[in-house]
């Protein structure tokens, strides 16, 4: 019976500025038994694909922007979300008035960024940035990533967005001091479910993450949490492990 292991990327598979050789070896050993491994991330498709190429990560599927884009093993688009663009424009105005450090918007694949605090030097993205007007005029904005000065500020913004826009097809998830904003009803769990349905997987589904935006897939499936993850998130998992390799190793040891 095919098993599936779906990992978050930043803070889970990607830690200490790398994807460790130990994790890669465990993934390959898992796949050698006929099982499937994929990444479920808040990143855009172009961004996570750049990471996959950089570290040589063998993936059988990709879920991007927290469930908003779903790709098969051969990068066929199985799903993309569809945010109301008038709502997006209003939200962007609210973000700028809220006092965020910077925010990024994406169409599922490309990324644009607006820096609000001139003293902030955001990490240079791993893909070229797209002009915001071009992105909005082409595919439209499908998700937003907002960086705030603190975790408390991020929580406040998360609650604000969810309260104001809950009836407009929008949902926000706190991600440490950042906030991921996307289409309501879409999450890492729904994105992974589209993979399960497409391939008709009927075996165990394991997931692993470290922060609040991972909660939907941690709770919906057999969820592991990184040992250094958020304490409240760890409480929701069935177990915690130091790394993806250790979690996969625990499954291989059962054989």
Supply the pLDDT for residue 120.
Answer: 84
Q: Say whether both 198 and 179 belong to one domain.
A: no
Q: Which residue bears the tokens 């808040």?
A: 42
Supply the pLDDT for residue 30.
Answer: 98
Choose the final residue of a domain: 183, 208, 228. 183
Query: Three-state DSSP class for 48?
Result: helix
What CATH number does the domain containing 151 carry?
3.30.1240.10
DSSP states of 104-172: EEESSS-EEEEE--TT--PPPPSS----HHHHHHTT---EEEEE-SSHHHHHHHHHHHHHHHGGGTEEE
d(CA 53, CA 115): 28
Cβ-Cβ contacts under 8 Å for 16 (sequence gap 6 or more):
none
Supply the pLDDT for residue 255.
Answer: 60
Choose the final residue of a domain: 154, 183, 212. 183
d(CA 161, CA 184): 11
Supply the pLDDT for residue 36.
Answer: 99
Q: Say whether both 91 and 178 belong to one domain.
A: yes
Enter the pTM of the model: 0.92
d(CA 248, CA 254): 10
Percent of the chain predicted with pLDDT > 70: 100
Q: How many domains does the chain have?
A: 2
d(CA 228, CA 159): 25
What CATH number does the domain containing 226 carry?
3.40.50.1000
**Residue 68 contacts residue 183 (beta carbons within 8 Å):** yes
Domain that holds residue 128: 85-183
Give every residue of the chain whose pLDDT is below 50, as ranges.
none
* Per-residue pLDDT reduced to its tens digit, 101-142: 999 999 999 999 999 988 888 888 999 999 999 999 888 999
d(CA 10, CA 42): 9
Q: Say whether both 205 and 169 belong to one domain.
A: no
């Amino acid at each position: 019976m095919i098993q599936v292991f779906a990992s978050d990327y930043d803070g889970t598979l990607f830690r200490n500025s790398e994807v460790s050789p130990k994790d890669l070896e465990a993934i390959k050993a898992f796949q050698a038994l006929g099982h499937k491994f994929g990444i479920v991330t808040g990143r855009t498709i172009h961004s996570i694909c750049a990471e996959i190429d950089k570290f040589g990560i063998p993936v059988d599927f990709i879920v991007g922007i927290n469930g908003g884009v779903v790709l098969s093993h051969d990068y066929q688009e199985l799903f993309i979300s569809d945010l109301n663009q008038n709502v997006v424009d209003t939200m962007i105005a609210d973000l700028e008035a809220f006092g965020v450090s910077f925010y990024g918007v994406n169409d599922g694949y490309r990324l644009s960024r607006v820096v609000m605090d001139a003293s902030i030097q955001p990490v240079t993205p791993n893909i070229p940035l797209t002009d915001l007007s071009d992105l909005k005029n082409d595919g439209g904005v499908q998700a937003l990533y907002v960086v705030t000065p603190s975790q408390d500020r991020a929580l406040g913004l998360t609650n604000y967005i969810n309260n104001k826009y809950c009836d407009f097809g929008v949902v926000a998830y706190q991600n440490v001091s950042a906030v991921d904003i996307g289409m309501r009803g879409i999450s890492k769990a729904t994105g992974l479910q589209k993979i399960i349905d497409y391939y008709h997987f009927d075996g165990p589904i394991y997931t692993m993450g470290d922060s609040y935006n991972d909660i939907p897939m941690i709770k919906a499936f057999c969820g592991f949490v990184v040992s250094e993850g958020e304490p409240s998130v760890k409480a929701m998992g069935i177990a915690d492990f130091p790394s993806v390799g250790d979690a996969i190793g625990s499954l291989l040891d059962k054989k």
